Amino acid sequence: MLKKSADREHVLPMLEELGGVTEENVRTVSEKTGVPEAEIWGAGTFYTLLKGGPRVRVCNGLSCRVMGSDQLVADLKAKGKDVEEVSCLGQCDRAPAALDEALKVLDFAKQKRAITGDDAKLPINLAGKQSYDFSALKKARELGTDGILKQIEASGLQGRGGAGFPAHIKWKGVAGQKDPTRYVVCNADEAEPATFKDRETMLRRSDKMIEGMAIAALVVGAKDIYFYIRGEFNAEAAAVQEALKRAGDHVKDWNWHFHRGHGAYICGEETALLESMEGKRGMPRLKPPFPFEFGFRGKPTLVSNVETFACVPYIINEGGEKFKAWGKTEAGSKLYCISGHVNAPGVYELPLGSTLEELVAAAGGYMGNPMAFSPGGASSGFLPIEQRNLPLDFKGLQKAGSMLGSAGVVVLNDTVDMAKAAQWQLEFFEDESCGQCAPCRIGSRYLHNQVTKYLETGDPAALKHANDVGWEMEEGSICGLGMVAHKPLVDALKYFPQAFEKR
Amino acid sequence: MSETFLIKIDGKECTALQGETVLQVARREGIEIPTLCDDKRLDPAGACRACLVEIDGQRRLQPSCAWKAADGQNVKTHQSSDRVQRHQDVLVSLYMSDHKLDCEGLPIETGNGNDLRAWAKDCSTLKLDPVNAPRVARPGDKNPYIEFDPELCVLCARCTRYCDEVEAVNAITLTGRGSETTIGTAGMRGLLDTSCELCGGCIDTCPTGALIEKKAEKALPEEVTKVRTTCNYCGVGCQMDLNVKDDEVVRVTSPEPGTTVNDGNLCIKGRFAYDFIHHKDRFTEPMIRGEDGQLHATTWEKAIAFAAEGMKKVAQRHGPDGIGFVSSSRCTGEENYLMQKIARAAFKTGNIHQCSAT
């Protein structure tokens, strides 16, 4: 049910400011906003960052697990720290990652992280110097809506958040709506395990992202532009604020707003993100209608990923064809994140369609004897290392039964128990399922329970129905999370059957 | 006149009205599609996934409760699609792994029925290990009427949406996340300490009997006979069904939404205040207090004549304004009209009042 109320949108930030969800805080917020107490309680209890109480957070994502996060938790607890194990913190290149009580990153890194070096020719060029001449925006104004759209279409730019949807279709979709009120939203709620490219982009190239957003707003006719930045990303949010200040008059035509995440992976899903912006539980909406026609406050909304926006200035300045030519199997360059058993985890800007071999070469080579990899976050399941020469792109990986997703690549060497790896990933999905639909809510818990049972008893019978349940999760779930949550286990069963024999 | 067009469901041509959902068309045509989260009083949620169907041109199965019928659309339900049948089989199995089962392995039925049970009987289910979801109730909730058993809850959110969309009371909410999600209140307080008006609509809309009436006898739906009557607590004329077992009213339920003036809704009085029916202190015939100070049974004719005589005497002794009339909110508009007629025309006084006018 659409509920429009400006006050409702303040509910979550107010709770956060007051220190989290307590009966008293909920009453205070209700009195100030007029939103019923139960709704505030319901929304607040959805988000882990609103639980309140200072503690150290240790990441239990796959890359951190293989770099010893369990040991780190034990060590911190032994020192008397109040420790909470949390879903991937997006610091996989600092594995095992942890945040202190004030959400500042603690450094326990076991590897030396890196990024692609400065190269002015690169479309995003993370290591390059920021530039605030906003020449692309100026050129975009000259090109006009049709001219810009032509370049975006020619560039072949696909959404970098995970779905790989052609950008120009989305832009056109919003621009063509009857309703004159439209919004642009930047999805910076980066939380897919093993993904940290948006983090680096915000820290290093907010200039490009902001310029891209302004160009998008020009095309779709939006006056209000929103950021939705992951709650744990304080430094990143500050970097964006600073960049916006430096952009100054170039972007004064728009009202820029900040929303912060409150600790829920699912809010990276665009409709859950919109619900969260509206002050509600981050439960994905049914689609259709899609956000381009019915988005924030029910208005046409362009929701795109940080990296997608950051590609836009290059496309306008250099032309769509030139961007497209960067790609190998699909258009453009791509920020690949890599972590796990490699020597130099980090973000590397490579041609889209590069292989794991090429990516690992950029990242200093394998650590140990590689056995498996996960090409696009937890959602992409696992592939055997024999597929190391598969182009890492949207269509090819989908054909291979996996996905590029957010390009969060994790390499696992032969010291890893694949059943254990599947259990870790399923723990993540069970924790992060929104709980709205049964296939995902019950299915992810069921699979997590069963693989745990297998690990405890060594009896493969525990996994007898895993494929059926996985099939139903994919067919029956509302959103993309539920559809892929079975993959870590089902893929591991398929490619690594020896890891699930009687033991 | 709305525009009509044809769609095909399982090969059968069906007439659809502009704006109708596939589920609405199917139901009218007698094509059965299971649902849990659907209630025609509420916006479609598409959350229970029971009603998913195949729609031509759609890669994914779509919820028929929310999917609008369109001219020429071709729809397949479990009757004609193995994919939809398999989806239902595994989905029901998942629900059952998260549900209290009886000794036959079927979802338990309470006095409030359980739609999951009938659906499970129609499917080839898998025997999945119980998932033991950490879903909690509200222990210590002292409200006298509404009881929640989280082990029978399927999180369809009909109760919370009903409380919000129909009653606009917002006492209950989905709370927590993932497998911990449950039905809660602010601070997980008892309902008496919330905005709850104890209308019991949440019980009425619950499809699996996770919500039941605390004090009602636990008679199963098939053990009772429903007797339709009009609620006499006020003049609205809500229709309600007395659930009768062995000549005794064991609970009150509301008729199917959309069929009566109250659209399936009742208030706290209509739904829960039926204890008087069989109460030992209830008057079941007119009585007159005699010279001996005791009440004596009589006929209506005598009782009315006695009352009229008494009132006339007061009016004679003290004048018309020596008497006043207070009508009841339990009366209908017509009855209230007659009451003022007696006051003004028969007794010539303006002293007429009605309790709900205060």
Which of A26, A36, A264 is opposite residue B195, by nearest beta carbon? A36
Q: What is the architecture of the domain spanning B221-280? A: Single Sheet (2.20)
pLDDT at position B330, please? Answer: 87
* Max Cα-Cα span within chain A: 68
Q: Is A467 on the interface with B (CB under 8 A)?
A: no
Domain extents in chain B: 4-121, 221-280, 287-357
The closest of A361, A87, A483 to B59, measured between CA atoms, is: A483
| Distance to chain A for B85, nearest Cα, Å | 11
pLDDT at position B236 is 87
**What confidence category does residue A1 fall into, taking pLDDT thresholds of 50, 70 and 90?**
low
pLDDT band at A4 (very low <50, low <70, confident <90, very high): low
A contact test, residue of B177, B182, B183, B191 with most A CBs within 10 A: B177
Please answer whether residues A260 and A237 qualify as being in contact, where contact means their C-beta atoms are separated by less than 8 angstroms: yes
Question: CB distance from A461 to chain B under 8 Å?
Answer: no
CA A193 to each of CA A52, A141, A202, A383, A490: distance values in angstroms, whole numbers, following the listed order: 23, 38, 18, 16, 18
Q: How far apart are CA A247 and CA A224, in angstroms?
A: 16
Within 13 Å of residue A443, how many CA atoms lie on the same side as its CB? 34
Give the C-alpha separation, A376 to B29, whole Å: 46
A1: chain B residues, CB-CB within 8 Å: 43, 161, 164-165
Q: What is the pLDDT of residues B11-20, one digit of tens each?
A: 999 999 999 9
Tell whether A77 lies on the interface with B, counting CB pairs under 8 A: no
Which DSSP string corresponds to A335-367? EEEEEESBSS-EEEEEETT-BHHHHHHHTT-BS
**Would you place residue A423 in the very low, low, confident or very high pLDDT band (cuts 50, 70, 90)?**
very high
Phi, psi of A133 (to 5 degrees): -80, -20
Query: Residue A35: closest CA among chain B residues belongs to which residue?
Result: B170
Query: Quick check: A11 and B158 in contact, CB under 8 A?
Result: no
pLDDT at res. B217: 77
pLDDT, tens digit (0-9, with 9 covering 90-100), for B241-298:
999 999 999 999 999 999 999 999 999 999 999 999 999 999 999 999 999 999 999 9
Q: What percent of chain A lies above the pLDDT cut of 90?
A: 96
CATH of segment(s) B4-121: 3.10.20.740
Tens digit of each residue's pLDDT (9 = 90 or more) over B165-196 = 999 999 999 999 999 999 999 999 999 999 99
CA angle B38, B43, B48 (to 5 degrees): 35
* pLDDT tens figures, A440-490: 999 999 999 999 999 999 999 999 999 999 999 999 999 999 999 999 999
- What does the pLDDT read at residue A264? 96
Confidence of residue A53 (pLDDT cuts 50, 70, 90): confident
Q: How far is B274 from chain A (nearest CA, A)?
A: 30
Task: Collect all residues of chain A within an 8 Å Cβ-Cβ radius of residue B179.
Answer: 430, 433, 435, 441-442, 444-445
Q: Are strands B352-354 and B325-327 parallel, antiparallel or unpaired?
A: parallel
**Span A368-381, average pLDDT:** 95
- What percentage of chain B reaches a pLDDT higher than 90? 92
Shortest CA gap A22–chain B (Å): 7
3-state helix, strand, coil in chain B (%, to 5): 30, 20, 50
Residue A304 in 3-state DSSP? strand
Query: CA A449, CA A310: separation in Å to the nearest integer?
Result: 41
Residue of A nearest to B155 (CA): A436
Whether B179 and A46 lie within 8 Å, measured CB to CB: no
* Widest CA span in chain B: 87
pTM (2 decimals)? 0.94
Inform me whether the pLDDT recorded for B199 exceeds 90: yes
Reported as a pLDDT band with limits 50, 70 and 90, residue A428 is very high
User: With contact defined as beta carbons under 8 Å apart, do A8 and A280 qualify?
Assistant: yes
A271 has a pLDDT exceeding 80: yes
Interface of A with B in 214-273 (CB under 8 A): 264
Q: Is the pLDDT of residue A102 over 60?
A: yes
pLDDT digits over B293-308, tens only?
999 999 999 999 999 9
Residues of B in contact with A36 (CB under 8 A): 170, 195
The mean pLDDT value for A171-180 works out to 96
Residue of A363, A469, A365 lying closest to A408 (CA atoms): A363
In chain A, whose CA is at the least distance from the CA of B196? A38
Structure tokens at B115: 């739609």
Per-residue model confidence (pLDDT) at position B355: 85
Three-state SS for B53? strand
Please indicate whether, in this complex, the C-beta atoms of B175 and A453 are within 8 angstroms of each other.
no
Say whether pLDDT at B358 is over 80: no
Q: Do A432 and B178 touch (CB under 8 A)?
A: yes
Mutate to test the interface with A, among B64, B160, B173 (most CBs of A within 10 A): B173
CA distance to partner chain B, nearest, from residue A5 (Å): 15
CB-nearest to B94 from A434, A450, A469 is A469
Average pLDDT value over all residues in chain A: 96
Q: Is A410 helix (H, G, I), strand (E, B) or coil?
A: strand
Q: Which residues of B touch A37 (CB under 8 A)?
A: 170, 186-187, 194-195
Chain B CB within 8 Å of residue A433 CB: yes
pLDDT of residue A5: 62
d(CA A292, CA A301): 5
The pLDDT tens digits of the residues spanning B137-173 come to 998 899 999 999 999 999 999 999 999 999 999 999 9
ipTM greater than 0.85: yes
Q: What is the pLDDT of residue B235?
A: 84
CB of A51 within 8 Å of any CB in chain B? no
Give the mean model confidence (pLDDT) for residues A125-148. 96
- Output the pLDDT for position A52: 79
Name the token pair of A53.
């109480």
pLDDT tens digits for B106-119? Answer: 999 999 999 999 99
